Amino acid sequence: MQEHHKRRFGWLVSIVVVVALVMPIVFGAPRKPDGTGGDPWRNEIFDFQTLITGILAICAAWLTIRQMRNDDAAAQRRHEELTALSLRPDALCVSRAFEPQHQELTVMHDIFRKNLWKIGFPHEGFSMNREYLDAARPVLVKEFDGIHFAVHCCLEAMERPQFIEAARLFTGRMSRDIDVTKKHIERQVERYVSLNEPLAEAAARKSEDDRLFLIEHWLDRNEQDLMFFMLAMLVQLPKILKGLHLLEERYKPYLRG
């Protein structure tokens, strides 16, 4: 039943009750002194006036409670609307930090994970010994460009203004995880510095042999560090992705409207 129909029905019931009670009282003939005669309906009202008064009091109390609940519900709706309005800028900030950074970091995490699987990690009895590193070398050489790309993409995603702007909304644990992850990435980027220019020169000469030689030489000094870096990313990136997802879910309702 629509609200205006409910109001009309309520007024109708009120009018019927008032007419049924007031009219006999005003115009009905009273009983005689000996208790006989009089208007029957007026007599019924007189006999049960306490009960009728109690019922009317209960109805009045119910209407009062109902109105209070409606007022409380309306106040709650206004409060929620004001809260949503005040949190909308933060929700937009979180939305910008979530996309496309969440998707990009997910792709980068998959790159590190797949390359670790290709070189046999994790497996029972894993040890970062010389034999294991020698076995991993061909994969690291072949996938060098993809890993190099993923490292720089991670750093770029986490240094974008929209990601940094949302940092004030991150939890303490998430902020710590981001800080630890960025330090790992920055150290890895520093390891690449000595290799970037020679690789660019080799690419300009279109010399694949020179390129492979440079990568092999770089891995001689940095292979173990690269392995430890990818293992760190396998642990750290899911923490950041989960934190971003939870933050986005928390603020998503405030984007509507």
- For 227-246, what is each residue's pLDDT tens digit? 889 999 999 999 999 999 99
Q: How many domains does the chain have?
A: 2
Q: Is the pLDDT of residue 83 over 90?
A: no
Are residues 82 and 19 part of one domain? yes
Residues 6+ positions from 20 with CB-CB distance below 8 Å: 41
pLDDT tens-digit readout, 126-171: 556 667 677 788 888 899 899 999 999 999 999 999 999 999 999 9
Q: Are residues 79 and 192 in the same domain?
A: no
**162 and 105 share one domain:** yes
Domain boundary among 67, 87, 107: 87
Residues of the domain holding 160: 88-255
Give yes or no: residues 118 and 95 share one domain.
yes
**Could you give the CA distance from residue 90 to residue 248 in angstroms, rounded to a whole number?**
10
Q: Select from 57, 87, 117 the last residue of a domain.
A: 87
Q: What is the pTM of this model?
A: 0.68
Distance from C-alpha of 26 to C-alpha of 16, rounded to nearest angstrom:
15
123 and 45 assigned to the same domain: no
Structure tokens at 83: 């809260």
The last residue of a domain, from among 68, 87, 106: 87
Whether 111 and 206 map to the same domain: the answer is yes
CB 37 within 8 A of CB 49: no
DSSP per residue, 134-176: HHHHHHHHHTHHHHHHHHHHHHHHHTSHHHHHGGGGS-HHHHH
- Based on the fold, state whether residues 161 and 181 are members of the same structural domain: yes
Measured distance CA(136)–CA(132) in Å, rounded: 6
User: 10, 67 in Cβ contact below 8 A?
Assistant: no
